[in-house]
């Protein structure tokens, strides 16, 4: 009787652990898919004078590139460069 009760508690604990494990896996999957969203956090480059954003190796920003996220560049009204097409 005592042993049977012990086994039941042990089994329930394992199920709980398994459910927590599943929750963690699904949470991590959601977090990873949000984190790896390619659109918002692409890094682009602007210059202090220009109104365009560029790729890192564009000749227009070489030597004077200011790193900025794509979402911020768009929010601040920058347009994509026609040469490097970021
Ligand atoms: Zn460019």
The tens-digit pLDDT sequence of the chain (86 residues) is 555 555 555 567 888 898 888 898 888 877 766 555 555 689 999 999 999 999 999 999 999 999 999 999 999 999 999 999 99
Q: Ligand 1 centroid to 79 CA: how many Å?
A: 10
**Is the pTM value of this prediction over 0.75?**
no
Alpha helices per DSSP H over 1-86 = 2-35, 70-75
Distance, CA of 47 to CA of 53 (rounded, Å): 8
Distance, CA of 66 to CA of 50 (rounded, Å): 11
Q: Ligand 1 centroid to 9 CA: how many Å?
A: 65
């Amino acid at each position: 009787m005592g042993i049977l009760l012990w086994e039941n508690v042990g089994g329930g604990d394992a199920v709980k652990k398994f459910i927590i494990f599943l929750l963690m896996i699904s949470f991590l999957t959601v977090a990873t898919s949000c984190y790896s969203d390619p659109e918002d956090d692409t890094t682009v480059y602007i210059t202090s004078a220009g109104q365009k954003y560029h790729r890192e190796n564009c000749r227009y920003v070489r030597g004077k590139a200011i790193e900025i996220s794509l979402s911020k560049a768009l929010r601040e009204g920058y347009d994509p460069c026609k040469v490097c097409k970021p």
